[in-house]
Amino acid sequence: MFNVQDKRFKIAHKEALIGVVLVIINFAIWFGFAYGLGSGDPLEYDYVFGFPAWFFYSCIAGTIFMIIAIWIAMKLFFKDISLEEEDEQK
């Protein structure tokens, strides 16, 4: 029975791949802002809402951006499928 290719797996594989893409984006934002803006002299940092700019964009704005991105990705790509056996098989 394991050799039956289940249609639902196609969907599951695509969604897993979206997870990988999201993590790469997440890492890029996090790393880029932190070390891009934070590598200079700390006495000359810019501040946004009281936080150093690197910290604000990397840890605060970046996190909020990711949450929105995850929400949009799920609205657009994630499908509602049955997890039980009887539906799609046979």
Partner 1 sequence: MHWSVIIPLLIFLIIIFGIGIWANRQVRTSNSFLQEYFLGGREMGGFILAMTMMATYGSASSFIGGPGVAYNTGLGWVLLAMAQLPAGYFVLMVLGKKFAIVARRIEAITLIDFLKKRYDSHTIVILSAISIIIFLFASMTAQWVGGARLIESLTGLSYINALLIFAVAVLAYVIIGGFRAVALTDALQGSIMIVGTVILLIATVIAGGGVDTIMQGLVAENPNLVTPFGAEQNLTPLYVSTFWILIGLGVIGLPQIAVRAMSYKDSKSLHKAILIGTIGIGTIMFGMHLIGVFARPVMPGIEVGDKVMPLLTLEVLPPVLAGIVLAAPMAAIMSTVNALLILVSSTVVKDIYLNYINPKASDAQIKNRSFWVTSIIGIAVVIFAVKPPELLIMLNLFAFGGLESAFLWSVVFGLYWKKANKYGAISSMIVGLTLYIVIYRFAENIYGMHSVTIPIIASLITFVAVSMIAQKVKKIEDYHF
Residues forming contacts to partner 1 in the complex (CB under 8 A) are 1-6, 8-9, 11-13, 15-16, 18-20, 22-23, 26-27, 30-31, 34-35, 38-39, 41-43, 45, 47, 49-52, 54-55, 58-60, 62-63, 66-67, 70-71, 74, 78-85
Which distant-in-sequence residues (6+ apart) come within 8 Å of 7 by Cβ?
A: 88
Q: 30, 29, 22: which is closest to 72 by C-alpha?
A: 22
Spatial separation of the C-alpha atoms in residues 86 and 90, rounded to whole Å: 8
Smallest distance, partner 1 to C-beta of residue 59, A: 5
Smallest distance, partner 1 to C-beta of residue 53, A: 11
Smallest distance, partner 1 to C-beta of residue 12, A: 4
